């Protein structure tokens, strides 16, 4: 096949047209969240993620099914919270701030993911940051051990 000027220009134009779509896709990381359908704080966290540019899908899950999902995906019991997300091969447990999720995706550690155990007041979706209690975001290693990934001081 011979590359003509017309086919070259058409090819170049199609690349130029597709470039913004590729950039948009990179800016909108997709996260799938398993949550109790009656939980308001889970919905608040999801709203925050969407406002921060994440493409969020949700799935309803109740009681032991949600607990089993967490266990099957390597979330230690002491790291559990009310909802669990999955993004680009990583698990996100609880009210993890969007900035920490982006940092995880940028650094790509060999880990299960991040967790904010419990439901600390003032974490994303759990009340105003201006009244935040101190909390840590943990990195969950493949062997189930954890280490502090980032810390948030009380407001």
- Long-range contacts of the stretch 131-136 (C-beta < 8 A, 24+): 131/155
Residue 60 CA, distance from chain mean position: 17
Domain count along the chain = 1
pLDDT of amino acid 14: 53
The answer to the question of residue 3 being in a domain is no
Neighbour tally for 132: CB within 10 Å = 18
**pLDDT of residue 19 exceeding 70:** no
**CA–CA–CA angle 73, 79, 82 (5° rounding):** 80
**pLDDT of residue 17 exceeding 90:** no
Give the side-chain half-sphere CA count within 13 A for 5: 0
The answer to the question of residue 38 being in a domain is yes
Q: Given pLDDT bands bounded at 50, 70 and 90, which one contains residue 7?
A: low
The answer to the question of residue 1 being in a domain is no
Interval 35-92: pLDDT, tens: 988 888 899 999 999 999 999 999 999 889 999 999 999 999 999 999 999 999 999 9
Q: Supply the range of the domain harboring residue 99.
A: 10-152
What is the Rg, in whole angstroms, of the alpha carbon atoms belonging to the chain?
Answer: 19
The answer to the question of residue 130 being in a domain is yes
Angle between helices 40-51 and 98-107 (to 10 degrees): 60
pLDDT of amino acid 63: 86
CB 73 within 8 A of CB 99: no
pLDDT of amino acid 36: 86
State mean pLDDT over 4-28.
53
The answer to the question of residue 97 being in a domain is yes
The answer to the question of residue 4 being in a domain is no
Residue with tokens 């406002």: 51
> pLDDT > 90: what percent of the chain?
76
The answer to the question of residue 66 being in a domain is yes
Q: Given pLDDT bands bounded at 50, 70 and 90, which one contains residue 150?
A: very high
**Model's pTM, two decimal places?**
0.82
The answer to the question of residue 2 being in a domain is no
pLDDT of amino acid 68: 95
């Amino acid at each position: 096949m011979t590359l003509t000027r017309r086919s070259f220009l058409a090819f170049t134009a199609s690349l130029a047209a597709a470039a913004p779509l590729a950039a948009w896709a990179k800016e909108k990381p997709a996260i799938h969240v398993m949550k109790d359908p009656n939980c308001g704080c889970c919905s608040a966290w999801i709203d925050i993620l969407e406002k921060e540019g994440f493409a969020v899908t949700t799935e309803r899950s109740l009681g032991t099914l949600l607990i089993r999902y967490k266990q099957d995906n390597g979330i230690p019991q002491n790291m559990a919270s009310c909802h669990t997300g999955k993004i680009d091969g990583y698990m996100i447990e609880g009210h993890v701030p969007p900035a920490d999720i982006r940092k995880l995706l940028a650094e790509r550690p060999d880990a299960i993911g991040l967790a904010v155990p419990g439901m600390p007041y003032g974490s994303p979706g759990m009340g105003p940051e201006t009244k935040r209690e101190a909390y840590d975001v943990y990195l969950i290693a493949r062997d189930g051990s954890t280490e502090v990934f980032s810390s948030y001081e009380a407001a």
